[in-house]
Amino acid sequence: MKRLMGYLDKVLYVKIMPSDPNTIPFYERYGFKQYENYSAMVIKNFN
C-alpha cells in the first residue's frame, strides 16, 4: 500500500469503494476519509 500511495502522491483526488466495512480502518491509516452517508472513501492532495 505504501508503494501504491507513493505513485498516487501527485494525483489530486483518489476515491475508493471498500466492499467490506471492516477494511475502513486500514484505509484510514493511509489518509482516506469516510464521509457520512457516503460509501466511498477519498483522499485529496491539494499541496
Read off the pLDDT of residues 5-24 as tens digits, 9 standing for 90 and up. 887 777 778 888 888 889 98
Annotated domain spans of the chain? 2-44
Residue 47: pLDDT band (50, 70, 90) is: low
Could you give the 3-state DSSP secondary structure of residue 7?
A: helix
pTM of the entire predicted model: 0.67
Please identify which residue in the block is written with the cell numbers 483526488: 13
